[in-house]
A = this chain, B = another copy of it.
Amino acid sequence: MKAICLLSGGLDSATCLAIAVAAGYECYALSFDYGQRHKVELLAAVKIAASLGAAEHRVATIDLRMFGQSALTDDIEVPKGRTVEEMSGEIPLTYVPARNTIFLSMALAWAEVLEASDIFIGVNALDYSGYPDCRPEFIAAFETMANLATKAGVEGVTRLRIQVPLITMSKADIVRRAKELGLNFALTHSCYDPDVDGRACGLCDSCLLRRKGFAEAGLVDPAVT
């Protein structure tokens, strides 16, 4: 069975890919150069795809800066030092409009061409940092739409599934599962605002959630030491 696996280069998407590989899928990893302010995560994605044995890895270019309005693509300051409560209280400045919808749509195109049965995306609804397009009800609606959008929907050949193995996991659960699967944590990059050498800032939402996850799992994070 073939699967498209969205791979940002972060801990979650890397763990998601590891889960798909462990489940026996022939994995086609897909990353995006979407005008993000730093490319560290794309370099991480290349190494992760290779280390986990993806059948292929492609980087698609889409300029999401043309619509603007996110701290991940624009000159808006990335929020630092927030508590988990503050993170979950509102949609953060790092939210990129419709990003997961666009990424899943591109994955859908590749899935249709490869006749892949599954698309894996590493969203989770617990430590989701307040993004609307990480909710289970969004994923379910996307799956329904995807099956009407494509040849599969017309010909009734294969029902495409959107797989979200991390959806109900805490960050600590993700760290533990990744550890079991032998993921090389040092290859992953989660920070929204790394320095020029690609080192994590340690204070953005993504860094703080990651640190909390490792702490709760009782593990040391080799990527930030």
Contact = CB atoms under 8 A, between A and B. Distances in A.
Work out how many copies of this chain go into the complex.
Answer: 2
Nearest to A110: B67
Nearest to A104: B105
Interface in A85-114: 91, 95-102, 105-106, 108-110, 112-113
Given A63-B61, A141-B148, A154-B91, A105 B98 contact: yes
B98 A112 contact: yes
A108 B105 CA distance: 12
Contacts of A101: 105, 108-109, 145-146, 149
Nearest to A148: B138
Contact of A60 (B66, B133, B142): B66
Interface string A135-146: 101100110111
Given A62-B62, A66-B58, A145 B141 contact: yes
Chain A binding surface SS class? helix
Interface string A56-87: 00101111101111000000000000000000
Contacts of A97: 108-110, 112-113, 150-151
Contacts of A141: 141, 144-145, 148-149
